[in-house]
Chains A and B, each alone.
Chain A
Amino acid sequence: MDAAANFEELTVGIENTQTASTGPAKAKSGRILFDRDSRDTVGEPFVEDARMTCRDVNVYYGDKQAIKDVSLDIGRNEVIAMIGPSGCGKSTFLRCLNRMNDTIDTCRVTGQITLDGIDVYGKDIDVVPLRAQVGMVFQKPNPFPKSIYDNVAYGPRIHGLAQNRAELDDIVETSLRKAGLWEEVKDRMDQPGTGLSGGQQQRLCIARTIAVSPEVILMDEPCSALDPIATAIIEDLIDELKQQYSIAIVTHSMQQASRVSQRTAYFHLGDLIEVGDTAQIFTTPRHQLTQDYITGRFG
């Protein structure tokens, strides 16, 4: 059964539950295995041949615990979507993967996160090469107030990836091509990146991220500030990029999650509630909370 067909079925399902107004637990009781109070992870959070592994990750902001015992793998060449209501910790979890949370003084992370078998929170790990390997695209497009060229070339420059100008030009062009922006900007590389449209800016940020040849790309709601057309372009781009990179994407749009991802993780108030194939999560969720969320009961 393909994902599109499942999605159709799902939308029909939502309508059904809404019109029936008797609640999903009754309507689809046969499938729901875990009730609302259960906080154990349902489904299969682990994959063979994982690129990144997370084991029993807890994150605290001061006294407040934002992430509770989350274990999750990110496989090779897959797009994993993280969904959940606002404040559920999915962005926090994403930011742990390349230690962006280090910039927050009160933030404390326990548990183990590895990249290719190496503990990223290890004593002798330098965050600079880590972030070169695990790139990040943010919610709001944030190009540097510099030229388009300099935006993309900045990463390769600071990491010394290019020996000379020709190589740098090459990296910039390749990255912009991969980000699907080359044709639009090739004649105005010296103009400020901030002058592009929102969707172009976000693709510029993606180009900037892939210019340093990362292995994993983290995307924190990359389309939330974009219109549907720009969103569609970026979703196509994510599909292309997964040939080469592992991608973890946080999104508020369940349609987006179902379109771009192979696996989906559902977070709820700091707990990882359910992980599984995207098609399965959206058609036959096994946890009551997942069911509530994807049918639009909250979030």
Chain B
Amino acid sequence: MNNATANGLPPGRRAIDIVNAGLSKRYRRERRFRLYGISAILASLLFLSFLFGSIISKGYTAFQQTFIRLDIFFDPAILSQESLTTANYPGVVKQSLRQMFPEVTTRQDKRMLYGMVSNDAAFQVRKLVLDSPEMIGQTLPIWVAADDDIDMLMKGHFDLDVPESERRINDVQLAWVDRLQQENRVEKRFNRTFFTAGDSREPEQAGILGAVMGSFYTLLVTLLLSFPIGIASAVYLEEFAPKNRWTDLIEVNINNLAAVPSIVFGLLGLAVFLNFFGLPRSAPLVGGLVLTLMTLPTIIIASRASLQSVPPSIREAALGIGASKMQMVTHHVLPLALPGILTGTIIGMARALGESAPLLMIGMVAFIVDIPGGLTDSATVLPVQIFLWADSPERAFVERTSAATIVLLAFLIVMNATAVILRKKFERRW
């Protein structure tokens, strides 16, 4: 009996030969497996860059806006000292336009001329006059926002090959724009309005601040409710609750809740918070409550996982020197689990920030011009604002939709980066 048969191998064959024979196949398989992984990552990167590229290329122009310089004559005849707040400011703007284009005489042409600048110009003039009434009687160059059609023209989003009758800007207006450009009266500037104004039907006056504040108040309510409730539930379930049928049932249901479509939470909010408790419609308070319901399972699951990952040796160490269970939890387990809990919370918050469906159900989809100043003011949120603008027919809202998406993505990236930084900073090793 030779050695080979003693090992159970066919006579004359050594184990190492068999191993070597199969090696190349093994390595081939490994290379193929790696290739799958790399191609999966490349595909997802491709889609992601396509998404970002499309949003950014469409949206970046919204951060600039076309302004027209008008020589505004602060006519004392119109602006009498007594009635500065209610004076005919649009008249002042129109007068200046007529002076710049004296050849315009017909009523229809005048309307077209006045339409070149945003009707925000009148409010701009009013503000100037109210701030410094000594301007009255002078003629000053003032930069006013152009109408959104002119803005689109200047940004090259305007198709001039279309027959004149189907265009929003006719040849007469084009000639005026050319003249203004020759006189250096047209300029693209940073679009401050976009960050400081609420929603508007006029794209050049529309901004995201209202939606950002709405999101802020909504998330504030969500955070203040879901963070403590989530941690308390997770700590109780993980550290104190007896393991029995009831806690199993609760656990299963929490996991189920995490998978419930978000619109269902909206329906629930509508039925409970609005119809039963009579809370105000469209309010960040209700939005926050609904998003709390939606975020809680995420936070509870993340917190429980984080609590479970605290090594039992730390618990035993604390109990072994006579710490009560609560001291063990608050002094040792919770601080060690906190980075994970915070990460889970931030990710839950980021999800809540990007959520629109449940908020549609409780009326946060309304057209709201004012910037909300509190929890019960009518408000909308960023994703819903994007939804509303995407629905608007004006060409200028296309770039604003993308710009608002960029802002939303920026917030999400900041939040997720915070989660990563927090985890890295407070992560402890033992």
Contacts and interface: CB of A to CB of B under 8 A. Distances in A.
Contact of B323 (A98, A158, A209): A158
A100 B316 contact: yes
B314 A212 contact: no
A105 B247 CA distance: 14
A145 B321 contact: no
Contact of A144 (B243, B317, B327): B317
A131 interface: yes
Nearest to A145: B428
Contacts of A159: 322
B423 interface: no
B313 interface: yes
Contacts of A145: 314, 336, 428, 430
Given A145-B428, A154-B331, A158-B322, A138 B242 contact: no
Contacts of B430: 142, 145, 194
A286 interface: no
Contacts of B327: 158
Given A128-B324, A142-B313, A105 B319 contact: no
In which size bucket is the chain B interface? 20 to 34
B242 A105 contact: yes
Contacts of A138: 313, 316-317, 320
Contacts of B69: none
A143 B322 contact: no
B425 to A, nearest CB: 14
Contacts of A155: 321-322
A205 to B, nearest CB: 7
Contact of A105 (B243, B311, B322, B324): B243
Contact of A131 (B321, B331, B429): B321
Contacts of B331: 154, 158
B185 interface: no
A2 to B, nearest CB: 35
Contacts of A136: 316, 320-321
Contact of A103 (B311, B314, B319, B429): B319
A140 interface: yes
Contacts of A142: 311, 313-314, 316-317, 430
Contact of A208 (B242, B313, B321, B336): B321
A100 B319 contact: yes
A135 interface: yes
Contact of B321 (A103, A105, A209): A209
Contacts of B311: 142
B315 interface: yes
B300 to A, nearest CB: 21
Contacts of B428: 145, 194
B314 A98 contact: no
B174 to A, nearest CB: 71
Contacts of A209: 320-321
A145 to B, nearest CB: 5
A136 B319 CA distance: 9
Given A145-B428, A145-B430, A194-B430, A100 B317 contact: no
Interface in B290-348: 311, 313-324, 327, 331-332, 336
A135 B430 CA distance: 22
A237 to B, nearest CB: 18
Contacts of A137: 320
A100 B320 contact: yes
A111 interface: no
Contacts of B243: 105
A103 B315 contact: yes
Nearest to A139: B313
A192 to B, nearest CB: 9
A131 B317 contact: no
Interface in B24-52: none
A209 B331 CA distance: 17
Nearest to A143: B317
Interface in A122-161: 128-132, 135-138, 140, 142-145, 154-155, 158-159
A154 B323 CA distance: 9
A229 to B, nearest CB: 23
Contacts of B321: 131-132, 135-136, 154-155, 158, 208-209, 211-212
A137 B316 CA distance: 10
B181 to A, nearest CB: 67
Contacts of A211: 321
A144 B319 contact: no
A194 B427 CA distance: 14
A140 B311 CA distance: 12
Nearest to A154: B321
From B243, B313, B321, B429, residue with most partner A Cβ within 10 Å: B321
A212 B327 CA distance: 16
A293 to B, nearest CB: 28
A137 B313 CA distance: 11
A188 B314 CA distance: 22
Contacts of B314: 142, 144-145
Contacts of A154: 318, 321, 323, 331
A211 to B, nearest CB: 8
Contacts of A143: 317
Interface in A189-223: 194, 205, 208-209, 211-212
A196 B428 CA distance: 15
A137 B311 CA distance: 16
Contact of B320 (A98, A129, A158): A98
Given A103-B315, A105-B242, A144 B332 contact: yes
Contacts of B242: 105
Interface of A: 98, 100, 103, 105, 128-132, 135-138, 140, 142-145, 154-155, 158-159, 194, 205, 208-209, 211-212
Question: What are the 6 tightest A-B residue pairs by CB atom distance, in nearest-first order?
Answer: A132-B322, A142-B313, A136-B320, A131-B322, A155-B321, A142-B317
Given A142-B313, A158-B321, 7 more contacts: A103-B316, A137-B320, A138-B316, A144-B332, A194-B429, A211-B321, A212-B321
14 contacts: A131-B321, A132-B321, A132-B322, A137-B320, A140-B313, A142-B311, A142-B430, A143-B317, A144-B317, A144-B332, A154-B323, A158-B322, A208-B321, A212-B322
